[in-house]
């Protein structure tokens, strides 16, 4: 990895930390402040894991694997005290005197603390979202993981499991007028999770050589755990809930949640307006392309047609849909799905090198593997990155297999991930999307960013690279652009959907119209999206928001710098700050350029 930011960091260390004792060497003071802040961060994380042991386990920190926190008033008091103490500690640090890495860490810790405080005192989802109480995931991971011997993992499993009855008793006390949607979700997920204790745990226990007495005790605990889970689900089903809360969050809470979760430089209203305008723009561009492609794909004398020549539909959206349907027929066969993905990776790397778009570290190749069994069923492709405590772990590109799928399901899936979209998927998930971003963020290691990593920046980067690759000529065919626009329309409409459902009371019917008629989605996909928007809030906005912020920032810089702008340098510099919110990266990059004008030249 080229250390492109080293000179600029030194530059800023000297320049930005004014104040302090004139007698002391400024560099020393700064270094000292940073090392105290580093110590503070370590203590902060240690304390964080004590309060949130399940979160710790999920990040690969297993010291508190035997603890299950009972979510009662007492726990919430502890959390609030933790927030207050740490907000006080943060005040002791002069942010001007911290390095870039520490500055962004500072902001991210502060945001996390404020977010915890707000969730407990304002959002109060622990009262209305019964699906927050579901232990099976944490326990399943203890059985699947191989971070420790099975003996150790099972004994911790057992200790943690002993608190499950108390856990669900506290849950019942917390719940007040829950939403119908989250109640149903809680019932489904909790009932679905009992197999971890009834089946998986039992099977694991057969593999170890514990004494009979110990095994019996553990089996008894498992039985009680299952009873507690089933009794919770039964209690929810019978709950006398005459005035259920709406699953729609409402403007005020939604705006706040957007601020904490997304951490954008734009307000949520600005993002909504931008998404509406972007949708309109995409429809116009798509119509232009589809209209051009009409004669090639539909009104084609070479293709046998019942009605020839077919008339062009008057509705432009319908015309776009018809052309998209034809283009989607170009796709790989089910048995070559995996190899098609594998073959594309070197092609992407070559293109990036040839066009000088970003440095790709050849010493960190991506390991492509067939999707492990426990992930099966999701298909497609995804990145598995090692957790923050597993630095030497491989990063995998999991590619799903379609073997065993019924013919219609496979065909519909392959049409969705057709020849064009499959390439965009590879750009997004792997190179130069998520995987490349990950390699860069590992160059500026920060536990804080690994734990609180900003998903808007992470997803935004992946979505940004899709367009960036096409702009640089990766595939300039009208077919590719049309399919790309359809793909981009998905994240754009996710934002419109989420905002309007939660703050503008958009009905299901209107939502389905948006997804099916305006975003060209299949009925099943749209139904799934509706379900998702009724049990999550804000999360669907992160793709479009991050993409818009990065794209707008790049265009702004281009304008400012004219022919001095260098795309490769922009990408490398942008990623060098790790998975921090785009607004902070932007801020730091602009300051850095001011202080080190040399950076502006290439
Ligand atoms: Zn087909
Ligand atoms: Zn992604």
Q: Which pLDDT tens digit goes with each residue over 463-472?
A: 999 999 999 9
| pLDDT, average across residues 172-177 | 97
Residue 242 confidence (pLDDT): 94
Identify residues whose C-beta is under 5 A from ligand 2, the ion. 459, 462
Looking at all shown ligands, the one closest to residue 437's CA atom is 2
Using the mean position of ligand 1's atoms as its centre, give its distance from the Cα of residue 244 in Å: 45
| pLDDT, average across residues 493-510 | 98
- In angstroms, the CA 269 to CA 285 distance is 24
Using the mean position of ligand 2's atoms as its centre, give its distance from the Cα of residue 543 in Å: 8
Using the mean position of ligand 2's atoms as its centre, give its distance from the Cα of residue 459 in Å: 5
- In angstroms, the CA 148 to CA 66 distance is 13
Looking at all shown ligands, the one closest to residue 412's CA atom is 1
Q: Coil, helix or strand for 375?
A: helix
| pLDDT, average across residues 493-518 | 97
- pLDDT(5) > 80: no
Using the mean position of ligand 1's atoms as its centre, give its distance from the Cα of residue 582 in Å: 40
Using the mean position of ligand 2's atoms as its centre, give its distance from the Cα of residue 428 in Å: 6
Q: Which residues contact 297 (CB under 8 A, 6 or more apart)?
A: 323, 326, 327
Looking at all shown ligands, the one closest to residue 491's CA atom is 2
Using the mean position of ligand 1's atoms as its centre, give its distance from the Cα of residue 330 in Å: 7
Q: Are strands 381-384 and 396-399 parallel, antiparallel or unpaired?
A: antiparallel
Q: What angle do CA 118, 121, 127 make, to 5 degrees?
A: 110
Question: In whole angstroms, how far apart are CA 63 and each of 52, 147, 152, 241?
Answer: 11, 12, 12, 40
Residue 594 confidence (pLDDT): 80
- In angstroms, the CA 256 to CA 219 distance is 45
User: pLDDT digits over 82-100, tens only?
Assistant: 999 999 999 999 998 999 8
Question: In whole angstroms, how far apart are CA 567 and each of 339, 427, 564, 577?
Answer: 31, 17, 10, 17
Q: Which residues contact 94 (CB under 8 A, 6 or more apart)?
A: 17, 19, 33
Using the mean position of ligand 1's atoms as its centre, give its distance from the Cα of residue 331 in Å: 6
Residue 27 confidence (pLDDT): 57
Query: Which residues are bridge partners to 384 per DSSP?
Result: 396
Residue 548 confidence (pLDDT): 98
Lowest mean pLDDT among 5-19, 61-75, 371-385: 5-19
Using the mean position of ligand 2's atoms as its centre, give its distance from the Cα of residue 460 in Å: 8
- In angstroms, the CA 109 to CA 96 distance is 16
- pLDDT(300) > 50: yes
**DSSP designation for 314:** S
pTM for the predicted model, two decimal places = 0.90
Looking at all shown ligands, the one closest to residue 333's CA atom is 1
* Chain centre to alpha carbon of residue 446: 18
- In angstroms, the CA 290 to CA 423 distance is 20
Diameter over CA atoms, the chain: 89
Query: Which residues are bridge partners to 382 per DSSP?
Result: 398
Using the mean position of ligand 1's atoms as its centre, give its distance from the Cα of residue 427 in Å: 23
Which of 192, 181, 258 lies closest to 531, judged by CA?
Answer: 181
Residue 396 confidence (pLDDT): 87
Looking at all shown ligands, the one closest to residue 417's CA atom is 1
Using the mean position of ligand 1's atoms as its centre, give its distance from the Cα of residue 422 in Å: 14
Looking at 365-441, list the stretches that DSSP marks H as alpha helix, in order from N- to C-terminal side.
407-416, 419-429, 434-441
Q: Coil, helix or strand for 398?
A: strand
Three-state DSSP string of 523-564: HHHHHHHHHHHHHCCCHHHHHHHHHHHHHHHHHHHHHHHHHH
Looking at all shown ligands, the one closest to residue 329's CA atom is 1
Using the mean position of ligand 2's atoms as its centre, give its distance from the Cα of residue 458 in Å: 7
Q: Coil, helix or strand for 397?
A: strand
Lowest mean pLDDT among 9-13, 111-115, 392-396, 445-449: 9-13
* Chain centre to alpha carbon of residue 178: 26
| pLDDT, average across residues 487-510 | 97
Looking at all shown ligands, the one closest to residue 425's CA atom is 2
Using the mean position of ligand 2's atoms as its centre, give its distance from the Cα of residue 165 in Å: 37
- pLDDT(346) > 60: yes
Element (H, E) at 370: strand 367-370
Looking at all shown ligands, the one closest to residue 330's CA atom is 1
**Percent of the chain whose pLDDT exceeds 90:** 74
**More confident call, 599 vs 596:** 596
Q: Which residues contact 540 (CB under 8 A, 6 or more apart)?
A: 494, 495, 497, 498, 532, 533
Domain ranges of the chain: 15-123, 130-247, 257-302+311-548
Residue 4 confidence (pLDDT): 35
Residue 301 confidence (pLDDT): 67
Using the mean position of ligand 2's atoms as its centre, give its distance from the Cα of residue 544 in Å: 11
Q: Are strands 396-399 and 367-370 parallel, antiparallel or unpaired?
A: parallel
Give the chain's mean pLDDT.
Answer: 90
Using the mean position of ligand 1's atoms as its centre, give its distance from the Cα of residue 414 in Å: 7
| pLDDT, average across residues 295-318 | 77
Residue 377 confidence (pLDDT): 55
User: pLDDT digits over 519-532, tens only?
Assistant: 999 888 899 899 99
- Residue 440, both tokens: 């860069």
Please check whether residue 261 is in contact with residue 539, taking contact to mean a CB–CB distance below 8 angstroms.
yes
User: pLDDT digits over 109-144, tens only?
Assistant: 999 999 999 999 999 999 999 999 999 999 998 998
Please check whether residue 142 is in contact with residue 153, taking contact to mean a CB–CB distance below 8 angstroms.
yes
Looking at all shown ligands, the one closest to residue 325's CA atom is 1
- pLDDT(218) > 70: yes
Using the mean position of ligand 1's atoms as its centre, give its distance from the Cα of residue 379 in Å: 17
- pLDDT(1) > 60: no
């Amino acid at each position: 990895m080229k250390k492109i930011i080293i000179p600029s960091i030194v530059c800023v260390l000297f320049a930005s930390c004014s104040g302090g004792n004139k007698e002391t060497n400024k560099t020393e003071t700064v270094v000292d402040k940073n090392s105290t802040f580093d110590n503070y961060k370590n203590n902060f994380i240690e304390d964080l894991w004590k309060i949130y042991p399940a979160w710790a386990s999920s990040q690969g920190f297993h010291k508190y694997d035997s603890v299950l926190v009972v979510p009662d008033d007492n726990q919430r008091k502890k959390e609030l005290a933790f927030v207050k103490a740490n907000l006080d500690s943060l005040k002791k640090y002069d942010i001007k005197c911290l390095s870039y890495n520490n500055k962004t860490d500072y902001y991210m810790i502060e945001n996390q603390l404020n977010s915890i405080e707000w969730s407990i005192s304002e959002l109060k989802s622990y009262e209305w979202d019964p699906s927050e109480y579901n232990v099976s995931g944490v326990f399943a991971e203890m059985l699947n993981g191989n971070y420790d011997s099975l003996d150790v993992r099972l004994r911790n499993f057992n200790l943690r499991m002993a608190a499950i009855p108390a856990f669900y008793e506290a849950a019942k006390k917390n719940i007040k007028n829950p939403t119908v949607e989250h109640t149903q979700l809680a019932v489904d997920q909790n009932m679905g999770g009992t197999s971890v204790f009834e089946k998986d745990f039992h099977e694991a226990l057969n593999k170890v050589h514990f004494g009979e007495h110990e095994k019996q005790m553990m089996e008894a605990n498992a039985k009680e755990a299952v009873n507690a889970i089933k009794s919770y689900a039964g209690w929810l089903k019978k709950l006398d809930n005459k005035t259920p809360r709406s699953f729609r969050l409402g403007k005020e809470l939604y705006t706040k949640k957007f601020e904490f979760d997304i951490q954008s430089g734009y307000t949520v209203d600005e993002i909504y307006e931008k998404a509406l305008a972007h949708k309109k723009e995409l429809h116009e561009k798509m119509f232009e392309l589809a209209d051009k492609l009409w004669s090639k794909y539909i009104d084609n004398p070479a293709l046998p047609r019942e009605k020839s020549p077919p008339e062009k539909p008057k509705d432009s959206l319908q015309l776009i849909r018809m052309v998209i349907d034809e283009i989607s027929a170009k796709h790989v066969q089910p048995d070559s799905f995996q190899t098609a993905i594998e073959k594309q990776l070197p092609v992407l790397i070559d293109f990036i090198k040839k066009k000088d778009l970003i440095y790709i570290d050849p010493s960190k190749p991506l390991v492509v593997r067939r999707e492990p069994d426990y992930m099966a069923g999701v298909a497609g492709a995804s990145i598995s990155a090692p957790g923050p405590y597993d630095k030497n772990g491989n990063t995998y590109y999991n590619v799903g297999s379609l073997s065993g799928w019924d013919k219609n399901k496979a065909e519909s899936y392959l049409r969705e991930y057709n020849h064009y979209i499959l390439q965009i998927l590879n750009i997004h998930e792997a190179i130069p999307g998520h995987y490349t971003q990950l390699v860069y963020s590992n160059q500026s290691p920060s536990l804080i960013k690994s734990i609180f990593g900003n998903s808007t920046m992470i997803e935004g980067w992946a979505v940004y690279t899709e367009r960036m690759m096409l702009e640089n000529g990766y595939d300039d065919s009208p077919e590719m652009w049309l399919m790309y626009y359809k793909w981009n329309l998905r994240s754009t409409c996710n934002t419109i959907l989420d905002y309007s459902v939660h703050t503008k009371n958009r009905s299901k019917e209107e939502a389905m119209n948006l997804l099916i008629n305006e975003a060209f989605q299949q009925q099943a996909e749209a139904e799934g999206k509706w379900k998702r928007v009724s049990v999550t809030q804000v999360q669907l906005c992160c793709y479009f928001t991050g993409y818009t912020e990065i794209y707008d920032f790049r265009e702004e810089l281009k304008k400012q710098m004219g022919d001095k702008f260098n795309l490769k340098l922009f990408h490398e510099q942008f990623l060098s700050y790790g998975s921090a919110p785009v607004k902070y990266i932007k801020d730091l990059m602009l300051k850095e350029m001011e202080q080190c004008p040399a950076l502006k030249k290439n």
